Structure 1
């Protein structure tokens, strides 16, 4: 591809955060260019109907442009929108949901303004890092295996950044078998470290007293190892890791899923509960239930709740969490794939809540829901595209979309969570 420089006016943002404009009628995608801006770009990938270009310079700047506070923003790729005012990122996330539901879902619905954060920094309770041969830790650059080292990631707490620096300093001395590490932090500032693919107790406190003393002093409470099959070994510290959600305590295993933004999780779940409008008389299903966070919140207002989850560690956590929150008796957790387990339940749900992975609902799940005909479905989605696809199927099967509420769980990134309430149409 030649290095010919071309001028491009950005018309809008697409859902990965890139700007789009047209050169000789060809859609041209440019990372870093904002709507209303004109820039000099160089095309590096050309197809018949579209092309990608790199931003060389900005001729006309948008009033929504700001200086990204992160020093590695341009190289990392983990955040896509730090060059834009926060208020404008919320507007574009609303538009992306609108576009997906209209274009893919074929739906004419009103999408409410995105619920943002008052302080949209230091919100992540989890960070997955990779290691260079030198011992340096960092994130993989978007769509590559290039490691981006950072001194201070602004999406995680200052405390978690210190855990990373302490561990990184230790890893420069050896332990080449350690390649991937995951840190977690709860609402009390306590931490957990998971060493992926390292089930041994090589990192014993006896052999490395200085490291464990330093980590403990900074609030880290446990270090775990996991082998390639996912078997866990407690290397050091406390077995239980706790997180509070909607004033309820939860135990979280190192391999269990938990929403990464604790503050916005409360906002998200409160909205789900409001849309579910339970009266303590309903039978509720919570599909893709994880460690039971939303299941147990629903159980406080329902007659019975059944959670279905594939991850065995999460199911074990969920059962313990039900006991911890005195919900035994009207809460049940089933282990297995949602599309398999829901076929074997004979009871009729009044309300179904689901929070599927990015791929959305399995076709068999959609089919079964349309057979069961629950009065209300609350769909929590992390991908507007698959949400649009699934809502189209549900609307064709007799459901009406009542409300669509985006929630910003991942400030400064392209990602948006959406809560949709559907009611069954009465013939």
Structure 2
């Protein structure tokens, strides 16, 4: 992929953009294979590796997280320079076609609604970020991260014009008043719509403004298909999906005769999973719990046939790893975006042996990766 921003030195976020994609993929594969082969007491030859899942090299991102800077009349959507000034990246080649087409209209909306971009050097202004997500069907979720409620009335007044101009399914305001490098705050104010419907492998997942979803829809779909294949081979009667989010893994592996329990700290995400379960006819065989995955598992006196974990970058941590080691769980599927925390967690559960693994390239041109590992006791 060629990128004028990269070549001009304006954005270097895609660290490995100048490295041919095949070499990028080989380097990631070598790194995760070496890390898992180095586990104490494990022989790398015992672990079967499937072919990596490739990504498109451009146009694969379903989410744009744009810092807003500049002025009301001439806003920039992109990143900040070292001195805190805006660098416009609305032509970024990573974004999906729908995001690419929407960003100019959103920049114009900033002007129309008189949303003053936040200035980091001056600590003044209102609009800090625009976070935009596109569904496979081309619908958009647009989130305005504001410093305060000052611009809320103007935004509400102008929003119908934006909804007419773009396929906006959901719009909201997020309040982030602090002068810190934090993308968003805890308070979300709905403006339009409720959920963005993300169709993945014939299952509609429902994203609310603060829901997590992988930024690469095609590779996320492949990740879920890989999990389905593994679970089908194992044939468990009971599955726990810990850190279930909006239910991606749990909904995909639900099947007749199988009980699935999903646990996620976000009540909104759990409600979305329940909605999807009703739509695809698995509400009777699935249970969705709002709570901390570790606390919930530690409080149980039973164990399922298989546990799926999809934690954040920090991993599952010593408590949940210790529970998985001591509990009578014969199979674990661990989906990780950080091989270092993955290896640390696996070292804490030596009774669960890595049987098979697969690299999935969610993040081309960077060192980030996703790996799915099947562990068997």
Cα pair 2:208 2:268 within 8 Å, conserved: yes
Corresponding residue of 1:122: 59
Corresponding residue of 1:95: 30
Superposition TM-score, scaled by structure 2 size: 0.85
Cα pair 1:76 1:140 within 8 Å, conserved: no
Moved more, 182-191 or 240-249: 240-249
Measured against aligned partners, the alpha-carbon deviations of 1:77-120 in whole angstroms (never above 9, x if no partner) come to 32122101111111011011123224566743254442213x33
Cα pair 1:261 1:409 within 8 Å, conserved: yes
Q: Between Structure 1 and Structure 2, which shows a larger proportion of helix residues?
A: 2
Aligned residues: 349
Corresponding residue of 2:180: none
Does residue 153 of the first structure (1) align with residue 101 of the second (2)? no
Cα pair 2:318 2:348 within 8 Å, conserved: no
- Alignment equivalent of 2:135, drawn from 160, 167, 186: 186
Q: Distance in 2 between matches of 1:277 and 1:222?
A: 35
CA RMSD of aligned residues (A): 2.4
Q: Distance in 2 between matches of 1:294 and 1:281?
A: 14
Q: Distance in 1 between matches of 2:219 and 2:332?
A: 21
Corresponding residue of 1:137: 77
Moved more, 127-136 or 190-199: 190-199
Compute the displacement of 1:277 (Å). Answer: 3.0
Q: Distance in 2 between matches of 1:102 and 1:280?
A: 27
Corresponding residue of 2:303: 348
Q: Distance in 2 between matches of 1:105 and 1:289?
A: 29
Superposition TM-score, scaled by structure 1 size: 0.75
Q: Distance in 1 between matches of 2:317 and 2:257?
A: 26
After TM superposition, list the pairs within 5 Å mapping 1:16-31 onto structure 2.
none
Measured against aligned partners, the alpha-carbon deviations of 1:193-247 in whole angstroms (never above 9, x if no partner) come to 0112466742456x427xx445533322332112346333222x43231011121
Moved more, 288-297 or 317-326: 317-326
CA 1:239–1:151: 2 relative to 1, 3 Å: closer
Does residue 418 of the first structure (1) align with residue 363 of the second (2)? no
Cα pair 1:281 1:302 within 8 Å, conserved: no
Measured against aligned partners, the alpha-carbon deviations of 1:11-32 in whole angstroms (never above 9, x if no partner) come to xxxxxxxxxxxxxxxxxxxxxx
Q: Distance in 2 between matches of 1:144 and 1:344?
A: 49
Cα pair 2:264 2:289 within 8 Å, conserved: yes
Corresponding residue of 1:175: 115
Does residue 76 of the first structure (1) align with residue 11 of the second (2)? yes
- Alignment equivalent of 1:223, drawn from 144, 168, 171: 171
Does residue 273 of the first structure (1) align with residue 273 of the second (2)? no
Compute the displacement of 1:179 (Å). Answer: 0.9
Corresponding residue of 2:361: 408
SS at match of 1:165: helix
SS at match of 2:59: coil
Does residue 85 of the first structure (1) align with residue 38 of the second (2)? no
SS at match of 1:333: strand
CA 1:86–1:399: 2 relative to 1, 3 Å: same
Does residue 208 of the first structure (1) align with residue 148 of the second (2)? no
Q: Distance in 1 between matches of 2:62 and 2:334?
A: 24
SS at match of 1:100: helix
Cα pair 2:67 2:79 within 8 Å, conserved: yes
Q: Distance in 1 between matches of 2:314 and 2:236?
A: 32
Does residue 162 of the first structure (1) align with residue 101 of the second (2)? yes
Corresponding residue of 2:120: none
In the alignment, structure 2 segments of 5+ residues that lack a partner are 117-125, 177-184
SS at match of 2:213: coil
Cα pair 1:152 1:158 within 8 Å, conserved: no
Cα pair 2:362 2:369 within 8 Å, conserved: yes
Compute the displacement of 1:280 (Å). Answer: 5.9
Corresponding residue of 1:365: 320
